[in-house]
Every structure is written in structure tokens, then in C-alpha cells.
Structure 1
Amino acid sequence: MSKVYVLHENQEWTEHLFTRLKELNVPFEDWFIDNGTVDLQSVPPEGIFYNRMSASSHTRNHRFAPELTSAVLHWLEHHNRTVINGSRALQLEVSKVLQYLELEKYGVKTPKTIAAVGKAEILKAAEQFEGQKFITKHNRAGKGLGVQLFQSIEALKDYVEGDHFEEPVDGITLIQQYIESPESYITRCEFVGGKFVYAVRVDTSEGFELCPADACRIDDLFCPAGEENTKPAMFEIIENFQDPILEKYEKVLAANAIKIAGIEFIKDKDGTIYTYDINTNTNYNSEAETKSGTFGMLEVATFLGAELERTIGNISVK
């Protein structure tokens, strides 16, 4: 029996999708990927395979889940299975360097960024931001983890040489131009089936860890998604959002075979848009969706169901 296979490493981020698939009577199977094996001589089952592997998996003690998922995805693609957010999507999920290069390729402006390995190299790279605010972040992170704002190179030196320095899991630290929004918010655009669904305004006044998932309210003490009764709302869907940037985003996603994603941008005081994140393991905030009457996981489940029907039809023809 053909079904939807969901590849992931975080049950709390995926249970909402399972609920929606059940509501729509879409057959599915949970492929939780942490430890495991891939028999390269075996043949995958029929169906479609939706990859939800996260760049932040290492923060949940699933250090090699992306590497194992990469092996699984290449095995599936070798057998010409229908894979939603396949190996190329995973490459971008775990590397902001690749994200920025791909965005720039399609005319999407990103903040000035330097990738560095080694503490001395981080400090040297920061010299290019002398006299400006700048941030550091991990090349492979997720949820905004590891983001630090600095007013000076001296402050960065204290951090890098101190006890609180966070070594990125892949060793690559990004030193990046700080884009200041006059209203302290960023915008996250959600796409399903490669097409724009909605945009959500995210309040950044409380910090950088901007995971929208409801699970963050339980697991991540410092994630602003956990704040209750924040005014204005931490996450708020923007009604009838339109901007020419959406067409460019859709081109980026199509070129990289990404069907489901959230893309984040910020506007500076002059209204210039800087895009800084493609999240192929996108999650949604239920409070914001309930207020607007738009539901991301329902859109995803509907899309997966339609893809499964299309795949079954192709199989029956053969």
C-alpha cells in the first residue's frame, strides 16, 4: 500500500502534521530518523517521502540525524521515489552559506556575511565590520540558536576567548552585518507546494530565538514563542501580504526542488529587504493561525495527499 512517509527527528514538531493527515484520511508512516541503517541493496516502499529533518537536530541529542537522512534521501532518489524536500533541500537546511549563495543567485539581497573557522579567523573577519553593529551565528543551527549581537570587536573578543563561546556543530561561524528594523520585527513567508501561503510578522524585541512551533513553549526556556500574553502578539499573520520578493523566493525554491519552506527577511529603516534564512523544516504557530483562520499544517497535509494520489495514479498506469 502506498502511503506518505514522514522523515524527521522531532515528534513534537511533527505530531500536528500527523493529526492533519489523519483528518484527511491520508495513509502515512512515521520514519523517525536518529540512529539506524540504510541497506543500499534494498528497494524502498512505494509512496511519497516528506523530509522534515532539522538543522537544529544536534540540540536534541540527534547529532548525526541529518547525515543519516542524507543517506536515506539519496537512496530514495536513486530509486526514483517521489521525495518532497529531498537531498538538495537538506543541503540548504544545514548550511546558511549555501542558502545565501543560492538567494543571491536569484537576485535576493542578503546581509554581508563572512564564514570563518577558528577563533583568530572570527576576530579577523570582524574587522570588516569595524564601527558597525554585527552579529555572529552558526552556519548550521536552527531556531536562531547561537545568534549574538556585538557593538564592537572588543566585545566579540571577550566572547570568543571566554567560557561562554558556542562552538558551531560544523565549526563554521558566520560574522554578519546587523540589520536593524525600526519596528523590531521580521517577516516569515510560508510556502507549500512551492507557492506562497501566508506571511507572519514576528516580534524580535525579546531576542533572536524565533522558533514558531508550539513545542518551543515547552522545551526552550529562552525561545520567545514561550512568552504568554505578549503585546503585540509574538506571531501575527499579515492579512493579504504582497511583495515582489515573493516571486523571487518561489524561483529559488523551484530551482532547488524545495516544496515546503519558510523564508525570513527583515527591512531596514530605508525599507530595503534583507533575506537571511530558508527553513525547509518549517513549523507554524497555532495561536496566530487560529486568529487568521489559515493553517499551515493543513495546507501541507492537503498537498501531501494530492501528491500521493498523483503518484498512485502514475504507478497504476505502469
Structure 2
Amino acid sequence: MGKIYIIHENNEWTVHLTKRLQELGLPYEEWHLDQGMVDLNAIPPQGVFYNRMSASSHTRGHRYAPELTSAVLAWLERHERVVLNGTRALQLELNKAAQYMALHAAGIQTPYTIATVGKEHAIEAAKQFAGKKFITKHNRAGKGLGVQLFERVEALERYVNGPDFEEPVDGITLIQEYIQAPQPFITRCEFIGGKFHYAVQVDTSEGFELCPADACQIGDLFCPAGEDPADQAKFKIVQDFNEPIIQQYEKLLADNNIQVAGIEFIRNEAGDIYTYDINTNTNYNSDVEEKAGRYGMLELAKHLGEKLEHVNKRQGVTTHS
């Protein structure tokens, strides 16, 4: 009988999922890919493989975990294994520029962004925002890496040439339009099996001066998966959320073979939606879910179980749960 294999590099982010898998009696195994090897001539085991590799793995000392994961996913896909969030999902997780191109291809509006390598080019790009606020962020990010708000090019020049400049792990710094929101919150839409599950409104008031469009990613304080009870008021599941953007997001995920994701957007003062992040390593806030009676990890575990059932049926095996 096959198993559910969880591909990751951070045990703290898998415990809620494995707890649900245990509750459902589903067999699983964790592949922690901070280091290791893959025999490319071997045959992968049967089962369902769920990739939740993170773009911020290098901040936990796992610099090459995504690269190893890329090799593993290529191996699994070569042998036509069932993979959730495969090679394309990993590519977008690690590359915000690629995210924005995928969003553009889907007709979804993003903040105006310039990708740069080299401090002098970052400064040159910032000149295109003369008279307007802009932000920096890392191309391969997560956790709000490199996010800074600037009002003038001179301030950016001092930053990139000063001791506090954060060098991106892939060398690419994004210079991005600052979206001024009329109210200090962003919205994160969660998808399981490529279908909309729920939307979370995230209060960014305490980090508003940094960047409302990325405040939900700046440190643990603004992480939608945060577990600090003192911060629970910052997160709220939006009941009966039904915006047309959801259909666009679902098509985007289908076109890019992404099954599990959290997509974040912000509205400007005119009410226009700007989408700025596709997170394929999504988490859920358990306390907020408890209040709303919606459980992301439970639904994900069920979805993985259904996929495993299909695999086992093809193999002539019955899954017990």
C-alpha cells in the first residue's frame, strides 16, 4: 500500500498536517530534504507526494534544500508519480519574478515591479518611481525578506550602500510600487485541490509603515500561520467571501499545476486589487480556524487521502482510514 509523502525542510510547519493524517488513519512519511541524496536510477515508491518546500529555507540553515527538492521532483515526475505542488509550483515559490509573469499571463494585476541585480541597478530602477513611494523585496523570499519602504531614491542609495543591506540569496532585488491601502489590511485566499477554501483578512496596522502589501510576511508577528494568542485579533476568516478574482486564481493554479496555495492581495484607495504573492508553502492559523469552524489542514489531509485512495485502487490495494 502506498503512503502520503511530505516533502519539506521545517518540522514546525508539518506537525499540524501530520496530526490530521494520524486522526484520519492515513499512512504517511516525511522527507526532510535539508540534505540527502536521490538515486536517479532507482524507482520511486508508490504513493502521493506533497511538496511544501519553502523559499525561506536558507534562513534556517537549509540553503540547498530547494535545489535537492527540485531533483527529487524531477525524479518523481519522470516516473509519473502523483505529486501535489510539483516542479512548476516550486519554481514559482522560489521566484517572485516568475510569479508575476504567471499572474500577468492570467490577466491578474500586480504592483509595478523591476527586478535588479547589482546595487547600482537597484538605484537606477528606483529612479523610475521618482516622487512616489516604493519598496524593496527579495526575489527568493518568504518571511518578508528584504522588505523596506522608501520615499526617495536617496534613501535607497544609503540603504544599499550601508551596513544594513540584505543581500538576496539569489542576488535579485525587486523594486516595487508601493500600494497605498485605505484600510490597514490585506487578504489571503487559501486553495486546496486547486479550489478556493476560504479567505483571511490580516490586520497590518502595526506594520503599516513598513509595507501593507507585505506586512503579513514581515516576521512571525504578521504570519497568517502565527500561533501567538496575543496576535489572534489580527487574523479573521472572511465569511461568504466571493470575489470574481477567485475564478481567476483558480484558473491560474490549474494552468500552473498548483494544488495547494495561499494567494495574497491588497486593494488601493480606488478599490482595485493588486496581487503580490503566491505562497505554495501555505500554513493555517488554528485558533482563527477554530473560531470560524473551518480547518485547512483537515481538508488538506482529506484531499491527500482521496489522492492516495486513487493511487491504491490503481495498484489493487484498499486504503483503510
Alignment TM class, shorter chain as reference: over 0.9
1:315 positional shift: 2.4
Distance in 2 between residues matched to 1:8 and 1:202, nearest whole Å: 26
For 1:316, the aligned partner's letter is G
Distance in 1 between residues matched to 2:242 and 2:135, nearest whole Å: 29
Residue 70 of structure 1 is matched in structure 2 by 70
1:211 positional shift: 4.7
CA offsets, 1:88-139, max 9 Å, x none?
Answer: 1000000000100001111100000000000000000001100001000000
Distance in 1 between residues matched to 2:221 and 2:230, nearest whole Å: 16
CA offsets, 1:151-196, max 9 Å, x none?
Answer: 1111111111100000000000000000011111100000000000
The answer as to whether partners of 2:204 and 2:222 remain within 8 angstroms in 1 is no
1:235 positional shift: 1.0
Residue 307 of structure 1 is matched in structure 2 by 307
For 1:59, the aligned partner's letter is T
For 2:85, the aligned partner's letter is N
The answer as to whether partners of 1:20 and 1:301 remain within 8 angstroms in 2 is yes
Which deviates the most, 202-211 or 158-167? 202-211
Residue 56 of structure 2 is matched in structure 1 by 56
2:216 to 196, 203, 210: 210
Residue 122 of structure 2 is matched in structure 1 by 122
CA offsets, 1:270-317, max 9 Å, x none?
Answer: 000000000000001112111101011011100000000011112229
Alignment of 1:249-288 (within 5 A): 249-288=249-288
1:205 positional shift: 1.6
> Alpha carbons of 1:144 and 1:61: their partners in 2 closer, same or farther (altered >3 Å)?
same
Alignment of 1:79-98 (within 5 A): 79-98=79-98
Distance in 2 between residues matched to 1:287 and 1:198, nearest whole Å: 15
For 1:76, the aligned partner's letter is L
Alignment of 1:1-318 (within 5 A): 1-207=1-207, 208-211=214-217, 220=220, 225=226, 228-230=229-231, 233-316=233-316
Distance in 1 between residues matched to 2:93 and 2:177, nearest whole Å: 21
The answer as to whether partners of 1:103 and 1:110 remain within 8 angstroms in 2 is yes
> Alpha carbons of 1:77 and 1:117: their partners in 2 closer, same or farther (altered >3 Å)?
same
The answer as to whether partners of 2:7 and 2:32 remain within 8 angstroms in 1 is yes
Q: Which runs of 5+ in 1 are unaligned?
A: none
Using the aligned pairs only, state the percent identity.
62
Distance in 2 between residues matched to 1:230 and 1:52, nearest whole Å: 25
1:230 positional shift: 4.7
Distance in 1 between residues matched to 2:25 and 2:57, nearest whole Å: 29
Structural RMSD (CA): 1.7
The answer as to whether partners of 2:188 and 2:265 remain within 8 angstroms in 1 is yes
> Alpha carbons of 1:273 and 1:33: their partners in 2 closer, same or farther (altered >3 Å)?
same
Question: Helix, strand or coil for the counterpart of 1:43?
Answer: coil
Distance in 1 between residues matched to 2:90 and 2:268, nearest whole Å: 30
Question: Helix, strand or coil for the counterpart of 1:206?
Answer: helix
The answer as to whether partners of 2:227 and 2:287 remain within 8 angstroms in 1 is no
Distance in 1 between residues matched to 2:178 and 2:305, nearest whole Å: 41
Distance in 2 between residues matched to 1:104 and 1:211, nearest whole Å: 22
The alignment of Structure 1 onto Structure 2 pairs a total of residues equal to: 310
TM-score scaled by length of structure 2: 0.93
Distance in 2 between residues matched to 1:223 and 1:241, nearest whole Å: 21
Distance in 2 between residues matched to 1:95 and 1:222, nearest whole Å: 21
For 1:24, the aligned partner's letter is L
1:210 positional shift: 2.2
TM-score scaled by length of structure 1: 0.94
